[in-house]
Amino acid sequence: MQIYRPRLTTLSESEILRYAGQKKDFGRPCGDVAGAGREGLLLTQPQCTWQLFDYDEENHRILLPTNHLDLCSVSLKKHLQGCQRIAALAVTIGDLLEKQVEKLFAAGSYTEALLLDAAGSVAVEAAADQADLTLAAQMAKIGLYTTRRFSPGYGDWDLSVQPVLLSLTGGSHINLSVTSSFMLTPRKSITAVIGLRPEWLKNPASEHLNDFIPCNLEGCLARKGDS
């Protein structure tokens, strides 16, 4: 298991606006977006952890030391085509930011709270992207190419897998847990799998870290088609 601590130096204002649900044609932004970004950076404590496992593509399962985990998702099976191994990844920015968001909402500072919450979403995605790149650089040294990350809730991969996946990531070492409704705690956290396949199968035209993968989460403000 590896623990990695991304270093965030800036948060995209346009991404904060997107996560806050303010569309491109919204006009002048409501609230201090730059201020939300600065405060967000101060309140984030990014940490990532991942573990590597062999992957049985034929039977669509992650091979564990004593058993296996069947991946019951057609979209994930397609995503992992050609993969020999997978990385189970967990990322969090901690709970300081969400505690401040709760205080702002309680005080009636709704716009400020909304923007800070959006800044937290941008921060955890940025931390995950850094983790992706770090993992990709390590795997390239042994001739493996990483796919995009794929999280529970994407496509037809059910959120009920969250507790098992979190265990595979070693997420408890960065103080991550999961609720009875399969939500991660702290909220600004991500779990995902990343496929690892031979370099010769690389298809640069179809793989981009920030491509949107349709999810089944209701009310998702991060849908690029809605921005």
Distance CA 46, CA 126 (A): 9
| Joined tokens for residue 126 | 């940025």
Checking 25-31 for CB contacts under 8 A at 24+ apart, the result is 30/111, 31/111, 31/112, 31/114, 31/115
Q: How confident is the model at residue 222 (pLDDT cuts 50, 70, 90)?
A: very low
pLDDT at 134 over 70: yes
Task: Please compute the mean of the pLDDT values over residues 74-98 and round it to a whole number.
Answer: 95
Strands (E), 7-103: 47-56, 61-63, 68-70, 85-92
Q: Which is higher by pLDDT, 57 or 214?
A: 57
In the DSSP assignment, the letter for residue 95 is: S
192 by DSSP, 3-state: which?
Answer: strand
Query: What percentage of the chain carries pLDDT values higher than 90?
Result: 78
| Model confidence pLDDT, tens digit, residues 11-38 | 999 999 999 987 654 555 567 899 999 9
Could you tell me if 107 and 99 are in contact, meaning their C-beta atoms sit under 8 angstroms apart? no
* Token digits of residue 60: 């669509």
Residues contacting residue 88 through CB under 8 Å, at least 6 positions apart: 50, 51, 52, 53, 62, 165, 168, 169, 191, 192, 193
State which amino acid sits at residue 21.
G
**Can you tell me the distance from the alpha carbon of 74 to that of 89, in angstroms, rounded to the nearest whole number?**
20
CATH top-level class for 2-226?
alpha beta
Model confidence, pTM: 0.85
